[in-house]
Amino acid sequence: MVAVTREPADVVVEIMRKYLRNGPTGCAFAADYAKAADAIQWGVWSGTSLSVLSPSVPLHEDLAAFFTGAARMQRPGIAVFPEIRTAEDIVELLVGLAGKSGWSLSREEWKRYPRGDELAGLWWQTPAGQRTSVMGFAPLGSMPVTRRAPFVAVAAWTGPQLNPQKTKKMKVPGPSNEVGFVDMKLIHPDTHDSMWDSTSEKVRELKALTKEGAARPTVAFCLPASCAPHLAKHYQVAAT
């Protein structure tokens, strides 16, 4: 675990674990991982200055090292920023990563239920040379209900494709040069199909009830429209 102060970091992790186990993500796989001991690689960054969280290691390098470690352990990685509170702080986080080695930012398009908010995608190149979409969480009203976590966080699967059962359920195969949470190794392979169906049904229900079009794997953060001008010049990759 990466932490500036160990004791508060443990509390932050436990709160996030409870959120994934019991919160409105709709994802049975996330709940399964959160219930298992040491199944998730956690990192907690304290400090509100996002330009330099460490006097010697820039944030983009620190996060890259963290996700590299998660890939080595073949665990999903979740980096939590408990002191980030506003959309403007999230913009600063994204701008601090955009264009740095291995990191890229995309402006995602609305496909359903469009509204004025800005959809930003965050991508990282894994140690194996594949790119992975980074999932964001935040306690903001602009975020989809499935991503309204107690703290701002970014999460990613940065390991190899370890879920051979995904092809049974995916309507369209994913690009061979990409990985995502669908590629995680399974804790309970025998229940994969029922968990997939349960997740699909619950997420579909949550998105329909709230008319939510931002809850897509390629969308890291849904931010207020006022954030768009500050992100525009930092987008590097085409929307998906």
Residue 176 DSSP SS3: coil
> Is residue 35 within a helix (H) or strand (E), and if so which, with residue range?
helix 28-35
Instruction: Look at residue 96 in the predicted model and tell me its pLDDT.
Output: 92
State the residue for tokens 């969480």: 137
Task: State residue 51's pLDDT score.
Answer: 46
On whether residue 1 sits in a domain, the answer given is: no
Give pLDDT, residue 47. Answer: 62
Question: Which domain covers residue 44, as residue numbers?
Answer: 6-234
pLDDT tens digits along 191-240 = 888 888 889 888 888 888 778 888 888 999 999 999 999 999 999 865 55
Examine residue 42 and state whether it is found in any structural domain, yes or no: yes
pLDDT tens, position by position, 151-165: 999 999 999 988 877
Higher-confidence position of 47 and 193: 193
Average pLDDT over residues 43-69: 76
- Identify whether 181 is part of a domain: yes
Considering the domain boundaries, does residue 240 fall inside one? Answer: no
Angle between helices 59-73 and 87-97 (to 10 degrees): 80
Q: Is the pLDDT of residue 54 over 60?
A: no
Look at 229 and 187; give whichever has higher pLDDT: 229
- Distance between CA atoms of residues 56 and 154, nearest Å: 22
Note whether residue 102 is domain-resident: yes
Q: Is residue 47 part of a domain?
A: yes
Per DSSP, the residues of 36-87 read STT-SEEEE---S-SS-SSSSS-HHHHHHHHHHHHHHHT--EEEEETT--SH
Q: Has residue 48 got a pLDDT over 70?
A: no
Averaged pLDDT of the chain = 87
Per-residue pLDDT tens over the stretch 120-173: 999 999 999 999 999 999 999 999 999 999 999 999 999 998 887 777 666 555
**Spatial contact of 133 and 121, defined as CB atoms under 8 Å apart:** yes
Domain count, the chain: 1
pTM: 0.89
> Rounded distance, CA 216 to CA 67, Å?
21
Q: What is the DSSP string of 147-169?
A: G--SSEEEEE--S----GGGGGT
55 located within any domain: yes
Amino acid 8 reads: P
CA end-to-end span of the chain: 32
